Amino acid sequence: MKAWPKVDLGALFHVEKGKVGIMAATPGSFPLVTTGEAFGTHIEPHFSGDAVCIPLISATGHGHASLKRLHHITGDFAVGSILCACVNREPERVMGRFVYYYLSACKDSVLIPLMQGTANMSMKVGDIAGVGLPLPHLDEQRVIVARLDALIEKTREVEAHLDAVERDVEHLLALRFRDVIADAPLRPMADVAPLVRREQTIDLDGIFPELGIRSFGKGTFHKPPISGSEVGTKRLYRIEPGDLLFSNVFAWEGAIAIAQPTDAGRFGSHRFITCRAVPGLVTAEFLRYYFLTDDGMLKIGEASPGGAGRNRTLGLEKLMAIQVPMPPLAAQQTFDRLQADVAALKAKHAAIRQANAALLPATLERLFAGSA
């Protein structure tokens, strides 16, 4: 970074706290800046111009100072009362978007130290006004902003392309599945993937790593281990790789997964329904895909009576009675290979997304290194 001169933010921007409670805002035609990624709306604007909006309250609370995001906005707008608006009053000297990029890059060293308090850490408007900003010539700011805006646009294009590819392959996979199960006979789950319970004896001195299931078909995750004394009266059941798992309270929203090799040695409570596909008849991968289709989710929903959330419980007998399509095993295995190919593609995309997401922060870090 060049040795740019520094100027206090308050010498360039009018800094003022937002004027409307986010939850109390009345939807209207003007953007309302919130702490979230997307703006809300309000019936009237409170500010106008080229502005940077900064949250005043820690994003995490509980005595921990953090900021997730800042916003840049132009025109007429409103701002939530837990943020401050820094409105540019020296447009011939500074660009709001340049300052937005700088503060986003250096928030941990420039803004976070301003937070005070115990449970709810926050910043004062006056302290924000005293933040020193590096101030290159306006022409240089324009070049920097154009470069960073172009980088953001490129990363968005990459994300959009990956999303489009994944939508296409998911659509093709669904069409293939439709063909595979066409005219296939139906059999109850009790015949093809019966319930398996491996109750674990609880040693009070033992350690039991638990497993969780993400909703919407997002797979399993590892919970922190608990001690035998923490288990109390709860029953634990051993889970083995290849098990078809259902969360009995969230199966209705797609908490259905297959235990992976990395899940070996973990346990689930009575809230987990563990089924084992009958070898030579059906594959767990095929059943999982079926249950996450519209038809499968409809049947899971019908087997999970009640209201919302934890009041909708998947019954064991109802699950075992669900009729599932049973095409020939060879057809299932061919489809499973397609599923594996799609999963491999998504894994590659995930790596690309991760690298793509790191481009802007890395560029900002290089650009503003040593400027805080």
**DSSP of 25-65:** PPP-SEEEE-SSSS-EEESS-SEEEEEEEEE-B-SSBTTB-
**What does each C-alpha distance from 327 to 184, 185, 256, 283 come to in angstroms?**
5, 7, 21, 11
Half-sphere exposure of 353 (CA within 13 A, CB side): 12
CB 82 within 8 A of CB 35: yes
- Residue 228's φ and ψ, nearest 5 degrees, are -60, -35
pLDDT of 310: 58
CB 17 within 8 A of CB 144: no
The closest of 291, 290, 285, 296 to 340, measured between CA atoms, is 285
Cβ contacts of 310 within 8 Å, gap of 6 or more = 249
CA distance 140 to 182: 63
CA distance 247 to 223: 14
> pLDDT 10s per residue in the chain (372 long)?
568 999 999 999 999 999 999 999 999 999 999 999 999 999 999 999 999 999 999 988 667 888 999 999 999 999 999 999 999 999 999 999 999 999 999 999 999 999 988 777 899 999 999 999 999 999 999 999 999 999 999 999 999 999 999 999 999 999 999 999 999 999 999 999 999 999 998 888 788 999 999 999 999 999 989 888 888 778 899 999 999 999 999 999 999 999 999 999 999 988 899 999 999 999 999 999 999 999 999 999 999 987 665 568 999 999 999 999 999 999 999 999 999 999 999 999 999 999 999 999 999 999 998 666
pLDDT of 312: 84
Instruction: List the beta strands (DSSP E) in the chain.
Output: 6-8, 13-17, 30-33, 40-42, 47-55, 71-79, 83-88, 132-134, 186-188, 207-208, 211-213, 220-222, 226-227, 237-238, 244-247, 256-258, 267-268, 272-275, 323-325
Cβ contacts of 290 within 8 Å, gap of 6 or more = 177, 181, 296, 324, 325
pLDDT of 162: 98
Instruction: List the beta strands (DSSP E) in 125-227.
Output: 132-134, 186-188, 207-208, 211-213, 220-222, 226-227
- Residue 131's φ and ψ, nearest 5 degrees, are -65, 130
Distance of CA 44 to the CA centre of its chain: 32
**Residue in this structure with the two tokens 């293939």, named with its chain if needed:** 176
Domains (range + CATH), the chain: 6-136 (3.90.220.20), 185-326 (3.90.220.20)
The closest of 74, 122, 124, 61 to 100, measured between CA atoms, is 74
CA distance 341 to 346: 9
